[in-house]
Copies of this chain bind each other. A is one copy, B any other.
Amino acid sequence: MPPISLLRAKDDAAKYGLDPEVLLKLKEKAMGARGVAYCPYSSFRVGCALLTADGDGTIITGANVECASTPVGICAERCALGKAKTEGYDKFAALAVATDISPPASPCGMCRQFIREFCDLNMPIFMYDKDGSCVVRTLEELLPMSFGPDDLKRGEVREEL
């Protein structure tokens, strides 16, 4: 009989059309990415893993990279997405974040907005707590009524009137 986590991953994966083995790999990568966080100011490690959907399902990871001037720092999710976009990936199937607290932390609003720029509203976001327990929500559930690329275009139409 498979371990509990695989059973749970099967349910989650099925719900969002993912392969359970891939989802477990994504979780592992997000939890592992906490290890490369640079967070001397907050001591709050965040790891992120992003499942690309362009080709062979490459997983891109990131972690929070802070700065003495704290507003200059980069969260784990924006780190991973910036990396993925500049490495040529344009389609994403799932995002996972992992922290050292329980229940799990969710992406901050700034990151939800950045994810919104590149991912479908129905893309699942898996949030893992310190022990690997998971809560999952779609991007739309985390950022309802979002402001996105199309809204700026609506502004341009106004300019032309």
Using a CB–CB distance below 8 Å, which chain A residues touch chain B?
Answer: 33, 36-38, 40-44, 61-63, 65-75, 78-79, 81-83, 85-88, 99-101, 105-114, 116-117, 130, 135, 137, 141-149, 151-152, 154-156, 158-159
Asked if A109 contacts B72 (CB within 8 A), the reply is yes
Asked if A70 contacts B66 (CB within 8 A), the reply is yes
Majority-rule SS of A interface residues: mixed
Known: A86-B36, A152-B44. A72 touches B110 (CB 8 A): yes
Pick the contact of A43: B106, B145, B155 (CB < 8 A).
B155
User: Which B residues touch A105, using CB under 8 A?
Assistant: 147, 151
User: Which B residues touch A36, using CB under 8 A?
Assistant: 85-88
